[in-house]
Amino acid sequence: MTGRPGRAGKSGGPAGAGELLELVRSGRAVTRGALQQATGLSRATVGQRLDRLFRAGWLREGAGGPVDSPLGGRPSITLEFDDSHAVVLAADLDTRHARAAVLSLTGEILAEHSGTLVIGDGPEVVLPELGRWFGELLEKTGRPAVDVCGIGLAVPGPVDTRTGRVVQPPMMPGWDGYDITGRLCRAFTEHTGAPAVPVLVDNDANLMAYGEQRAGHPDCAAFVLVKVSTGIGAGVVVDGSVYRGIDGGAGDIGHIRVGADALCRCGAQGCLAAVASGGAVARRLAESGVPAASGADVRDLLAAGHPQAAALAREAGRRVGDVLATVVTLLNPGVLMIAGDLAGTPFLTGVREILYQRALPRSTAHLDVVTSRLGERAALIGAGALVVEHLYAPERAEERLRALGL
């Protein structure tokens, strides 16, 4: 006697092991009975597919759940994603600084390193150095390099995620069209001796938005993060997925023209980033005799309560708020998060002043304007989550199980 046919999985056929893994990871079905009900598969078929996941080390049995039957009986054994079987490496590149980490599959940072790394030195300098950092971090955690399942990288420029290459990045000279994924993978293997692993690259604001939305606002269906540091960029998460546009250019609000008489690093005149970024504020401070060369310097001055820095940050916030009034009207987000070097009270005050003046009340009635929850770790956590969601998505999980001979 055969079981009834299972409900179609994402591939169009009956739900496979990858779909069962996704149901468990999402918490939608965490017992064998619940998986049968969700998929329509027979008990035997569910058991066979779970066995593949157990042998891969991706699932484990947890504690017994509640007894659903009024007649009592043994509690159902719950199923859990086993995050101990692998780790993820992640790095976040800024213009003059970088941060790298080893993360668990559930986003816990196990080891972390930050230091000076000048992106203008080019990929042949920066990426091998990241490979060295990764090797040292793995030694610190005691995890062998073969436990790494993938690497995520955040960069301050537009990325075509199909190729992992940046496209005409104003703040990344020498990187346009460069094979970042291939070179970072080689750097990892050179410094660890481990086999090649997948490398995923995305824009830093996208990954910050992804990390922040998942960590603090998982029920927000339309989430916007604006990063204001050396430059200005936005990340948009819609229904749990990053919105990137056709070729990775979505969210590049720093290059919206605002009519100012200032030359931008992209070569155009009057871009928002040329007058309201951390770099622009630093330049104005330096012109008035206050030592400042970057958004990080402005951040330090704001933390020290420097009155001129605060005044300029508020003015920059008003400039950005004017652009965000259009963004909010177009996207109608539930959360607008301000992050980056300028994400303090003066800048946020300026944003709020103009945003609520210019945007329609209908667009802001249910809008929360907040600052970063994860801080400097947001892009790392977002990069790690991007790798995990890619590798354990149903179709990719099936491919990996077959490659393991399971």
C-alpha distances out from residue 191 to 178, 243, 309, Å: 21, 34, 42
Residue with tokens 């008003």: 318
Low-confidence ranges of the chain (pLDDT < 70): 1-13, 64-75
In contact, 309 and 281? CB cutoff 8 Å: yes
CA 19 to CA 81: how far, in whole Å? 13
C-alpha distances out from residue 358 to 130, 327, 345, 364, Å: 43, 11, 20, 10
Q: What's the full length of the chain, in residues?
A: 406
* pLDDT in the model for residue 1: 33
* pLDDT in the model for residue 251: 93
Find the largest Cα–Cα distance for the chain: 85
* Cα-only R_g, the chain: 24
**Encoding tokens for residue 112?**
């972390």
C-alpha distances out from residue 305 to 142, 181, 227, 350, 352, Å: 42, 41, 21, 16, 20
Strand runs labelled E in 127-220: 148-155, 159-160, 165-166, 199-203
Can you give the pTM of this predicted structure? 0.91
* pLDDT in the model for residue 7: 61
Element at 263 (helix H, strand E): none
* pLDDT in the model for residue 4: 45
Helix (H, G, I), strand (E, B) or coil at 142: coil
